[in-house]
Chains A and B, each alone.
Chain A
Amino acid sequence: MADDRERFERIYRENFRAVLRFAATRIDPERAKDVAAETFLVAWRRLDDVPAEPRAWLLGVARKVIAGQFRSQTRRDALATRLEGERDSAGDLAATVEDRDEVLAAFAALRERDREVLRLVAWDGLDAAEAADVLGVTRLAFTVRLHRARRRLERALEPDSATPQKTRRHVDAHS
């Protein structure tokens, strides 16, 4: 039991930030804290199931917690909400801000399925095998999804697509 607690505390301290980040980039910040805590409560109760490399397992649990408990309450994802504020404040400032605005607009215009794949790699820092575990798909399936999502993001970032993308993003952010 003491060993279990020690192991759990190590897992918790090493992974809390990753789980919180995962949740906060998908739902509103206050609920993200609840999701992180709920995720580790599951891990505590199912410690025997937690693998030696627990991050993907934990993020998979967090994903289910979000899907199961918060779907109906948070239809707009955190990013869409944040984007509205970002767009209001970013204006025509420095090139980095402009690029960020452009990338986020293009990202928000993608389908949620693509966004989730891209988030796992770009923001959660997972490799293909870990991301596949989180989504519960094979590594091959994830690689295909990532390839497609990346191409769609590239297309959305092409200069010619700027105007329609922004229009679509606006619709998405308010859906």
Chain B
Amino acid sequence: MRTRNPIERLANAGRPFLADADALVDDGEREHILKRIVGSERSPARRRRRPIVLAVVAAAVIGGALAAALTHGSAAPTPTTGGGRHLALTGAGIEAAGFHFKTPAGFTTSGTACAAALQSTPGGSDPTDFSAAASADGGCVEAYYRISGGLVSCDPTAPPPPPPPGEAVDVGSYQGYYLAESYAHATLSVNLPQAGAEPVYLVLYAHDLTEEQLIAVAQSGLPATPPSTACP
């Protein structure tokens, strides 16, 4: 017997949608999400989002040249876990433009990008330009370079180029920008200073890594002291 009550009819019609929704997440994934949430920082949400204005031009040649420029006159990259952090960065190394980054315990080298990050960015870079590592339980981190529009002018009165999206964070002696893109995905863009040129950012895109872990990974591969940006 078919009800004529439109709400009941609508409720009946929607049952397959609800059943499909129930099947989206199994018990294991539900518990995994719970574990991530209760393991996260409980301070009030403080993320700001800004429109993405960066163009991606990462290329191995540019990256290599950049690495040479950055390491010139400075100490060789010194892996560090950052002051006071007790993070075990004993996983596989990932490499981008001559810098070698350590990853968390349990991570092994992966030939697959963590997500469609590179492909989805306007003017996206060649997917061969990233280096990634993944863990058996779904964690992933990849490194690549992003060159922003605008120049870092030597004119002190010139406006600085817009920063990448995210919240400003310290990455050792470097300026970083952390953007939590969802509960599990985050991007850390670290400014690699160079005067009179386009701003360059090391980008670590991660799945299932905390902000602290991402910062530690970045610090593990960058020279302790940024190169001088003094203008001639």
Contacts from A to B (Cβ < 8 Å): 5, 8-9, 12-13, 16-17, 20-21, 23-25, 29, 32-34, 36-38, 40-42, 44-47, 78-79, 82, 95, 99-100, 103-104, 107, 118-119, 121-123, 150, 153-154, 157
Contact B38 A42 (CB under 8 A): no
Is A45 in contact with B34, judged by CB distance below 8 angstroms? no
Rounded to whole Å, the gap between the CB of A44 and the closest CB of chain B is 5
**Is B33 on the interface with A (CB-CB < 8 A)?**
yes
B13 near A20 with CB under 8 A, answer: no
Question: Which residues of chain A come closer than 8 Å to B11, judged between CB atoms?
Answer: 122-123
Interface size class of chain B, counting residues whose CB lies under 8 Å from the partner chain: 20 to 34
Q: Which of A5, A24, A44 contacts B20 (CB 8 A)?
A: A24
Which of B42-50, B55-63, B86-94 lies at the interface?
B42-50
Closest B residue to A107 using CB positions: B10
**A122 touching B7 by the CB < 8 A rule?**
yes
If over half of A's interface residues share one DSSP class (helix, strand or loop), that class is named, otherwise mixed; here it is helix
| CA of A45 to CA of B29, assembled, Å | 21
A44: contacting residue among B6, B18, B22, B38, CB under 8 A: B38
User: Do A44 and B21 touch (CB < 8 A)?
Assistant: no
Beta-carbon contact of B30 and A16 below 8 Å: yes
Task: Please name 14 pairs of A and B residues whose Cβ atoms are closer than 8 Å in the assembled complex, sorted by A.
Answer: A9-B38, A20-B21, A20-B25, A21-B21, A37-B33, A38-B183, A41-B40, A44-B37, A46-B44, A47-B42, A99-B13, A104-B13, A123-B10, A123-B18
Q: Which residues of A contact B29 (CB under 8 A)?
A: 33
Q: A103 to B13, Cβ gap below 8 A?
A: yes
| B14 lies within 8 A of chain A by Cβ | yes
B18 A25 Cβ-Cβ under 8 A: yes
